[in-house]
Amino acid sequence: MPTLRLVLGDQLSMSLSSLVDWQEGDTILMCEVMEEARYVPHHKKKLAFIFSAMRHFRGALEADDKPVRYVKLDDQDNSGSFTGELERMLGEGDFDRVVITEPGEYRVMEMIHSWQDSLDVPVIVREDTRFFASLDRFERWADGKKQLRMEFFYREMRRETGHLMDGDKPEGGQWNFDKENRRKLPKDVTLPDRLRFEPDAITTEVLALVNDRFPDNFGDLEPFGMPVTRAQALEVLTHFIETCLPRFGDYQDAMAEGEAFLFHSTVSAAMNAGLLLASEVCEAAETAYQAGQAPLNAVEGFIRQILGWREYVRGLYWLKMPDYKGLNALEADRPLPDFYWTGKTDMACLADAISTTKQHAYAHHIQRLMITGNFALLAGIAPDAINEWYMVVYADAYEWVELPNTHGMAIYADGGIMASKPYAASGAYIDKMSDHCAGCRYKVKVKNSPEACPFNYLYWDFVMRNADKLKANPRMGMIYRSLERTSDERRVAIKNDAESFFENLYSEQIVV
């Protein structure tokens, strides 16, 4: 039964379910297509990473004696879409069936379902076994629950996998050590160097392709040093475990001017493309803990990101799509300011997070949640606009992970399906967790007036503006009680400051 096995650009794993029963006579189809490259205008580095990793994975498959039909973006007959390439291949060969692992995006799943109707051969979709929890498993967990909180799902995953368990109790007597993971970065701390991989011939060819075909896309293409093979990704993982993990926990929520990586793992792009498996990443962290090489607060925090958050957002995405994407609980409708693309803003924290993003197609989770996300939440940026920005700019972004994190977690557009309250914060939080405010032209200690940190009055404007939607939330009770004690005069000052800020947001003189 000759089988055509379609492998997508984020399915670069030898253990992929669509490849496990590969037999002599089967063909693997991989294709670089404009449809995927253009459905959002991806960061140049993201494009280069995906195409280079795909081409290297083709080499790994062929070295394993598995023939690949690989269609490059610039191949003359490239039809430009998955559907076109699949039809072309089926027209040329004699295949009895198509096998594919479930994709990461609803959009592509719809495409696959259309193939099941339109193609002459059966199209078999297999579970993506690279995740700890199948979609059925998540659905079973969610069934009948009023609230779908990550923490409880995470505990089940801990019990099920045995990660950081001491019998039936959590290691160290606690499920979550988050309280120990909120230190500001000391001034004298030495940050670890990061591994960079010189582009080889394949990557060099891809860089030229991206430069040539996507010259106007956002982001710096070079210098390019991302891991594009499994061997390189494993090096990054080992380097993280040995060099960064011991202090990852303490400074997990810290931010520092000009420092993109701190003690973060930087494995998300490689993991989400399939170069590393979630199971091996968690095992490596736990082994370091068992060997006394990393403390529990660091290892638990890291494993929670993968075994907890990553699995949870994927489950939630598939449970709630397609309606999820259209939710707009706070009726936010402001266009995305230009500075998200240029980085040209006097707000130092935003300028730094956007500059990091532009250079590396990367920012760590607190920059994403509490700086660019927090601003979008407070300013009421339209969900579609901010969701697309995150999809474009991060090398690890596919909709299954981006949408819940942005739409649900950062901007509360889902009205609390994910988060029990909006992650809104004023300048005080940013000042507590970073060194940005010291060099900012705005003053974080000033609450109102043109020299005040905009996060301060935008925070209270957000609270006032959304009172009808948020006041009844018990977790917002303290904030609304505090608002009740606020004088009318201060409220007017907040409204005036916010209004003039928004008036100037799209003009070049003041903010951008």
When the beta carbons of 50 and 433 are compared against ligand DLZ, the nearer one is 50
| Angstrom distances, CA of residue 354 to CA of 129, 360, 367, 408 | 34, 10, 9, 21
When the beta carbons of 73 and 351 are compared against ligand DLZ, the nearer one is 73
Does the protein bind ligand DLZ through residue 104 (CB under 6 A)? yes
Among 12, 47, 237, 349, binds ligand DLZ (CB under 6 A): 47
Backbone angles phi, psi at 98, to 5 degrees: -115, 135
Q: Which helix or strand (DSSP H or E) is residue 169 part of?
A: strand 169-170
Taking the complex as a whole, how short is the minimal distance between the CB of residue 39 and ligand DLZ, in angstroms?
7
Per DSSP, the residues of 89-140 read HHHHS--SEEEEEPPSSHHHHHHHHHHHHHSSS-EEEE--TTSSS-HHHHHH
Partners of 126 in beta bridges: 101
| Angstrom distances, CA of residue 447 to CA of 400, 462, 493 | 38, 14, 10
Among 248, 261, 375, 398, binds ligand DLZ (CB under 6 A): 398
d(CA 306, CA 368): 17
Specify whether the CB–CB gap between 6 and 86 falls below 8 A: yes
d(CA 2, CA 308): 39
458 CB-near residues (< 8 Å, 6+ apart): 375, 378, 379, 498, 501
Contact letters (x/-) for ligand DLZ, 121-160, by CB under 6 A? ----------------------------------------
d(CA 154, CA 175): 9
Among 37, 221, 254, 316, binds ligand DLZ (CB under 6 A): 37
Among 29, 48, 50, 425, binds ligand DLZ (CB under 6 A): 50
Does the protein bind ligand DLZ through residue 10 (CB under 6 A)? yes
d(CA 262, CA 139): 36
Taking the complex as a whole, how short is the minimal distance between the CB of residue 37 and ligand DLZ, in angstroms?
5
With both helix axes pointing from N to C terminus, report the angle between 311-320 and 150-161 in degrees, rounded to the nearest 10: 120
Backbone angles phi, psi at 468, to 5 degrees: -65, -25
Residue nearest to ligand DLZ (CB): 9
Among 108, 206, 241, 267, binds ligand DLZ (CB under 6 A): 108
Among 105, 300, 402, 461, binds ligand DLZ (CB under 6 A): 105
Q: Which range in 8-16, 170-178, 277-285, 504-512 contacts ligand DLZ by CB under 6 A?
A: 8-16
- Judged by CB under 6 A, the number of residues near ligand DLZ is 16
Taking the complex as a whole, how short is the minimal distance between the CB of residue 24 and ligand DLZ, in angstroms?
24
Q: Which range in 16-24, 26-34, 369-377, 462-470 contacts ligand DLZ by CB under 6 A?
A: 26-34
Q: Which range in 6-14, 87-95, 110-118, 198-206 contacts ligand DLZ by CB under 6 A?
A: 6-14
d(CA 502, CA 308): 37
Taking the complex as a whole, how short is the minimal distance between the CB of residue 50 and ligand DLZ, in angstroms?
5
Contact letters (x/-) for ligand DLZ, 284-323, by CB under 6 A? ----------------------------------------
Among 16, 19, 36, 133, binds ligand DLZ (CB under 6 A): 36
When the beta carbons of 8 and 228 are compared against ligand DLZ, the nearer one is 8
Does the protein bind ligand DLZ through residue 452 (CB under 6 A)? no
Specify whether the CB–CB gap between 173 and 242 falls below 8 A: no
Q: What is the amino acid identity at position 264?
A: H
What angle (nearest 5°) sits at the alpha carbon of residue 162, between those of residues 157 and 166? Answer: 120
Interacting residues with ligand DLZ between 74 and 103 (CB under 6 A): 103
When the beta carbons of 127 and 333 are compared against ligand DLZ, the nearer one is 127
Question: Which residues sit at the interface with ligand DLZ, rule CB under 6 A?
Answer: 8-10, 31-33, 36-37, 42, 47, 50, 103-105, 108, 398
